[in-house]
Amino acid sequence: MAQAQLRVPDLAACAAPYRILKVRRLTGALGAEIEGVDLSQHIPADVRAELDRAVLDFAVLVFRNQTLSPAALKRLGEQFGEIEEEPFIPKLEGHEGVYLLQGSGGARLSTQNLHWHVDHSYRAVPSYGTFLYAVNVPEAGGDTMFACMTKAYEALSPTMQKIADGLVVIHDVLQYGLQAGHMSLARPEFIGRLQGMRSVFPQIEHPLVCTHPDTGKKFLYINPAWASGIKGMSPQESQALLAFLNTHATQQPKLQCRVRWENGTLVFWDNRCVQHSPIADYTEQRIMHRVAIAGTWRPT
């Protein structure tokens, strides 16, 4: 899990097999289940080197049967960078930096259907990545989808790649409450909160196509939650192109993996080049703990 200030794996070594970790890919696009590490303990340097490499190889890492108290989850996060504050999720009381995702139990399906997004692209320096830990999850339902934005870029035609390469996207924190997919959040008090955040985070521009700082690979940097338009285009043109790109990036199974949670499952994803989407197909209680790592990379 290499941040700019941390070690970057030797990419020349990436073709070599993993020596310590057992790695099983989830799909052809991204994701891997990783065995051979107890994340409640300090991670030895040789294991850490393989984890750093696995992030670049697979972008979504799934660890089963981990026992992580909130304090242990925070300690794990601190090994990878600065813990990031999360403005949209309640804090877990008594555990600074750890956040509580709690699906609504009861007869109705969960309302936590936030659809596809990357976290916090409305900031100049978005999150590096997230650890999400399943504390108490339904027997079935509440899976999380992930989509590879590197593969999404590669799947565009050369002509569309050339067009995309030169474009700049405007990201706006206010957009989150206005998206059709987020109508459950479009309550006046929520919009008011977003307006307050906008005074801290004004609209920001990021390239539509970015280059991963560690792999050097190009990827689509779009976000159905925060992207409000394309610089220099009319609203109609923006809307049409963003709609195409969002559909292209998030609606193709060949670009995705799906993680089924069990109690004790921990997932880490590279928030720079991966979109995620929770599935609200459950009625039972679903409790997750979340620790996000602040980024050090400005999208370029």
Q: Which residues bind Fe ion (CB under 5 A)?
A: 119
- Give 129 or 229: the residue with its C-beta nearer to Fe ion: 129
Shortest reach from residue 135's CB to Fe ion, in Å: 17
DSSP 113-159: ---SB-TTTTSSS---EEEEEEEE--SS---EEEEEHHHHHHTS-HH
- Give 156 or 220: the residue with its C-beta nearer to Fe ion: 220
- Give 50 or 172: the residue with its C-beta nearer to Fe ion: 172
Contact 33, 26 (CB under 8 A): yes
- Give 133 or 238: the residue with its C-beta nearer to Fe ion: 133
Shortest reach from residue 49's CB to Fe ion, in Å: 28
User: Alpha carbon of 116 to those of 75, 152, 256, 278: distances in Å?
Assistant: 28, 14, 12, 8
- Give 53 or 115: the residue with its C-beta nearer to Fe ion: 115
Shortest reach from residue 117's CB to Fe ion, in Å: 6
List the beta bridge partners of residue 211. 218
- Give 130 or 228: the residue with its C-beta nearer to Fe ion: 130
Residue 219: phi, psi to the nearest 5?
-150, 155
Shortest reach from residue 225's CB to Fe ion, in Å: 8
Cα 103 to Cα 99: distance, rounded to the nearest angstrom: 13
- Give 15 or 180: the residue with its C-beta nearer to Fe ion: 180
Amino acid, single-letter form, for residue 62: V
Shortest reach from residue 278's CB to Fe ion, in Å: 8
Shortest reach from residue 5's CB to Fe ion, in Å: 23
Shortest reach from residue 296's CB to Fe ion, in Å: 19
Shortest reach from residue 101's CB to Fe ion, in Å: 9
Contact 173, 201 (CB under 8 A): yes
How many other CB atoms sit within 10 Å of the CB of residue 96? 10
DSSP E strands in 104-260: the ranges are 129-136, 144-148, 168-171, 204-207, 209-211, 218-220, 227-230, 256-259
Residue 66: phi, psi to the nearest 5?
-95, 145
Cα 100 to Cα 287: distance, rounded to the nearest angstrom: 7
Pairing relationship of beta strands 286-293 and 168-171 according to DSSP bridges: unpaired
- Give 80 or 116: the residue with its C-beta nearer to Fe ion: 116
Say which DSSP state 60 is in: E
